[in-house]
Structure 1
Amino acid sequence: MSCKCGKTCAPVESPANICTTEDKAKCGCGPAPEATPLTGKNFTATRNACKLCAPLGACLAFRGIEGCLPFLHGSQGCATYIRRYMISHFREPMDIASSNFGEESVVFGGRGNLNEGLKHVIEGYKPKVIGIATTCLAETIGDDVHMYVKDFIKENEGSISIPHLLHASTPSYAGSHADGYQWAVRAIVDQLAVDGPNEKFIGVFPGMISPADLRHLREIMDDFGMQFSIVPDYSDPLDGPVWGEYHRIPEGGTPVSEISKLGRASAIIELASTIADKQSAATLLDEKFSTAVFRVGLPIGIRQSDKFYKVLEQITGRPTPAKHAGERGRLIDAYVDGHKYAFGKKVVIFGEEDFVVGLTAFCAEIGLKPVLCASGGKSGKLKTCIRDAAPELDPETEILEGVDFAEIEVAVNHLKPDLLIGNSKGFSVSRKTSVPLVRVGFPIHDRVSGSRTLHLGYRGAQRLFDTLVDKLMEMKQDGNDIGYTYI
């Protein structure tokens, strides 16, 4: 149908022939503004971010140090938001202190607030360690927290018992929660690890994984008979047993004494794919102490787990224990049993970049067809790392970084996947598009299993495979009017 403007108001193949917003003002026709989604170069704001703030990741890392209380240098709202956000996932208490900026702090700096806050925390909590992370506000006004901490120690030494004070710079405008986590881990190692005679001791930097994953990693390392330390280890502080009485700082975490030994470790294993050298604690140890570093991606699925186990075999000189070889064999058998249900089903995967790399490699090896791999992170390495981890991936698979859920929703409507695989923040996309969501990773706010969701190793792959195939079978069963009991 032609209009006064000489264009067409009905949908046509060529967008050039459709009435624009300006045309609509002239003749009252053409598409509504929302009919053309604003993505990529057409839109710069974030809508429903596919990432979280950097101090959140830092607080998670600090919680994995024994006796550590996270402390945010900034406004009270940041600490409250992060504390509540993490409680909703882990279902455990999570205290986070704050220097509680007000208008005066913004204008004149937050040194006084930081000093006062540290004194209160030391008196009230008696922590072994205080992990200080900076918020956007403190970074924007240029507070020199490193200098403030040094001055605080100088001014108060002798009058109060000062714990280890660790500081990480974590502005959210420079990175995501995954970046904040890595910055904090690097800062912890930089400020605590010391040189000395080499020891038969392995350090492991696991990345952002679940408490269940951390426990499984410990089990694997124990079975290889190694002396090791996982840094950080928040499995007990954020997934511990019920208490008879409240603990202000939960038990568990990596002791400072073990972190200090990292400079003398015989080897370091870092589970990461997209991490930059300037973020990497392993790279720092290599630069400072010439420590041997082994970097492998998150061991999700058989192929990635095989790489991890081969590193352990290389370091220890021992074969993979029979228990784990048996798990691998049963997993292969399960792949065969479930292949006909998984093969060719289209999936969209989203989350932290390293997690997306591991999940994509796993999905590709079980016959699923990833059509979109997306992350809010901006490492610049996502596409290369995914192609390296899953060389059989379809060349047409879209791999996007720095995206939000509004852009993911547009892609889902276009790609028509069978499943979404990611955290619970993707539920809004699932609901709008009627594509089922399988919840993995962080955060999982609308289920109680977040802390106990296992992803890593052969055992984690078995759990993921069973969950995904069972979901596909359930969808097939529910979508049939007859109601077959055999699928």
Structure 2
Amino acid sequence: MTTMTNYTATTNACKLCKPLGASLAFRGIEDCVPFLHGSQGCATYMRRYIISHFNEPIDIASSSLGEKNAIYGGGANLKLGLQNVTTKYTPKLIGVATTCLTETIGDDVPMLLHEYHKEFGSEDSPLVVSVSTPSYAGTHMEGFTAAITAVVDQLSTKTEPNGTFNIFSGFISTADIRYLKEVCNDFQIKATLIPDYSDTLDGPALNDYPLIPKGGTPLEAIKAMGGAEASVELGWTFPENTGGNVLKKKFGTELYQLGHPMGIRASDAFFELLAELTGREIPDKYTAARGRLIDSMVDGHKYIFGKRAVVYGEEDLVIGITGFLAEIGIHPILCASGGKSGRFEEKVKEVLEGLNCELPLVKEDVDFYDIEAMAKELGTDIVIGHSKGYAFARRENLPMVRVGFPIHDRIGGQRILHLGYQGAQNLFDQITNTIIEKKQNDSSVGYSYM
């Protein structure tokens, strides 16, 4: 059995920081500027990571704290920063996320914001939402979820039933968001999808640079989420407090939680839920896509059956990919994540239930030093995850399929479709062809026909 080295240092984390996730979530809200209450370096680092994946500019404001503020507090910088952002960007919403520094020195951000509104607030002032996101208390996924929960909690109001549905997508690609919009349109669902960065982080080429790109979940729709018929949250490792739970507690909005629709079984569950909620048949285009996927799985089964895969990344993504791999005959031998929800292993077992697949080694709160050591010992045929795993895949001469975030050594990482039958089709083709290419390249004759 694989054991873990007893050390306390992190050499190469399999996660990113909590306020980075919050910044991504805020970017998916209409006319919102993400604002980090902390040092300038935090905002610079996060902008670099986000830009390298999405290939889009993103502004993240900062209160730019220094040594003096670490002693006397950052309230003055926060207020000045909010004034500057309001003047320069004229946003409708500013999303304030804390960093390690401000949490460590103990800045009371809600109190500071209350003071700010009393001192500088007016009818034209933007709304301000705050969320606590110290990196030492979680990963970018926790920051992402916490920011969306804060937006819903602080902006939603009691409203009359409006016939809409709330869809909390979780952290997915811009292509996945567009896919969910298409599905809702085909089911004739009036949906509030949150967050929606499909345009704000993957927009068209423009002649002039907009300070705040168009798009995002409309603020008025967020305020009215309590009047929806139901909320649907997509993911596997939900924390106790989510946007859907907030709406259920405050307004009694019915809540459904189910896994991201990756692969056949999870996609079936998603489409069946939509059919149940709307009373409509699943559109023919999706049943046809399901049939093509199954046909391709039969065609390609002989090339991938029994291959052994290491999967890593955000817990929800790894769980979804793991279930899909088992469906197509690949054995996930290691499921690894830097997250530590405490539900990772349980949900991996859940998605593998009833499939002819042995349970993989499941490790949470690990870094790539651990992942590489375990991959060597277990015997791996393919690596599936984001770009941070490329170094060890290269050292071990393992083929790699890039999914999730961040992908910063290829173009189009933000446009990878993971969801639904079409997403599964794309992943199946890529995984199968990657395995075929590896065998072909290793062949002494370099054959050109399968």
Q: TM-score, normalised by structure 2?
A: 0.98
Q: Residue 286 of structure 1 aligns to which amino acid in structure 2?
A: K
Q: Distance in 2 between matches of 1:356 and 1:393?
A: 18
The one of 289, 300, 303 equivalent to 1:338 is 300
Q: Tell me, yes or no, if the aligned pair for 1:54 and 1:175 is still in contact at 8 Å.
A: yes
Q: Tell me, yes or no, if the aligned pair for 2:400 and 2:434 is still in contact at 8 Å.
A: no
Q: Tell me, yes or no, if the aligned pair for 2:399 and 2:435 is still in contact at 8 Å.
A: no
Q: Tell me, yes or no, if the aligned pair for 1:387 and 1:393 is still in contact at 8 Å.
A: no
Aligned ranges 1:39-438 → 2 under 5 Å: 40=4, 42-158=6-122, 161-278=124-241, 280-391=242-353, 392=355, 394-438=357-401
1:150 deviates by 1.3
Q: Tell me, yes or no, if the aligned pair for 1:356 and 1:374 is still in contact at 8 Å.
A: yes
SS at match of 2:424: helix
List per-residue Cα deviations over 1:283-316 (Å, max 9, x = no partner): 1111111111111111111111001101101110
Aligned ranges 1:15-54 → 2 under 5 Å: 40=4, 42-54=6-18
Q: Distance in 1 between matches of 2:182 and 2:370?
A: 40
List per-residue Cα deviations over 1:257-298 (Å, max 9, x = no partner): 0101111111001001111112x1111111111111111111
List per-residue Cα deviations over 1:163-204 (Å, max 9, x = no partner): 010111101111000000000000000011111222210000
Q: Distance in 2 between matches of 1:41 and 1:175?
A: 22
Q: Distance in 2 between matches of 1:144 and 1:431?
A: 46
Q: Distance in 2 between matches of 1:346 and 1:201?
A: 43
1:129 deviates by 0.7
SS at match of 2:35: strand
Q: Distance in 1 between matches of 2:103 and 2:367?
A: 24
1:483 deviates by 2.0
Q: Residue 322 of structure 1 aligns to which amino acid in structure 2?
A: D
Q: Distance in 2 between matches of 1:299 and 1:113?
A: 43
Q: Residue 275 of structure 1 aligns to which amino acid in structure 2?
A: F
List per-residue Cα deviations over 1:395-445 (Å, max 9, x = no partner): 451011000000001001101210000000001111221112110100000
Q: Tell me, yes or no, if the aligned pair for 1:347 and 1:421 is still in contact at 8 Å.
A: yes
Q: Tell me, yes or no, if the aligned pair for 1:346 and 1:417 is still in contact at 8 Å.
A: yes
Moved more, 46-55 or 383-392: 383-392
1:41 deviates by 6.0
Q: Tell me, yes or no, if the aligned pair for 1:201 and 1:228 is still in contact at 8 Å.
A: yes
Q: Residue 451 of structure 1 aligns to which amino acid in structure 2?
A: Q
Moved more, 473-482 or 61-70: 473-482
Q: Distance in 2 between matches of 1:138 and 1:483?
A: 58
SS at match of 2:229: strand
SS at match of 1:344: coil
SS at match of 1:200: coil
Q: TM-score, normalised by structure 1?
A: 0.90
SS at match of 1:230: strand
Q: Distance in 2 between matches of 1:152 and 1:429?
A: 48
1:141 deviates by 0.8
Match of 1:454 in 2: 417
Q: Tell me, yes or no, if the aligned pair for 2:326 and 2:357 is still in contact at 8 Å.
A: no
Q: Tell me, yes or no, if the aligned pair for 2:261 and 2:267 is still in contact at 8 Å.
A: yes
Q: Please, which runs of 5 or more residues in structure 2 have no aligned partner?
A: none
Moved more, 470-479 or 214-223: 470-479
List per-residue Cα deviations over 1:143-163 (Å, max 9, x = no partner): 1111111111111123x8310
Change (3 A) 1:164 1:393: farther
Q: Distance in 1 between matches of 2:140 and 2:387?
A: 16
The runs of 4+ residues in structure 1 deviating greater than 6 Å are none
Aligned residues: 448
Q: Tell me, yes or no, if the aligned pair for 1:412 and 1:433 is still in contact at 8 Å.
A: no
Match of 1:472 in 2: 435
Q: Tell me, yes or no, if the aligned pair for 1:211 and 1:239 is still in contact at 8 Å.
A: yes
Q: Tell me, yes or no, if the aligned pair for 2:92 and 2:127 is still in contact at 8 Å.
A: yes
Q: Please, which runs of 5 or more residues in structure 1 have no aligned partner?
A: 1-36
Taking only the aligned residue pairs, the percentage that are identical comes to 51
Q: Residue 388 of structure 1 aligns to which amino acid in structure 2?
A: E
Q: Tell me, yes or no, if the aligned pair for 1:135 and 1:172 is still in contact at 8 Å.
A: yes
Give the aligned CA root-mean-square deviation in angstroms.
1.2
Match of 1:4 in 2: none
Q: Distance in 2 between matches of 1:87 and 1:157?
A: 32
Q: Distance in 1 between matches of 2:86 and 2:367?
A: 40
| 1:444 to 2:407 alignment | yes
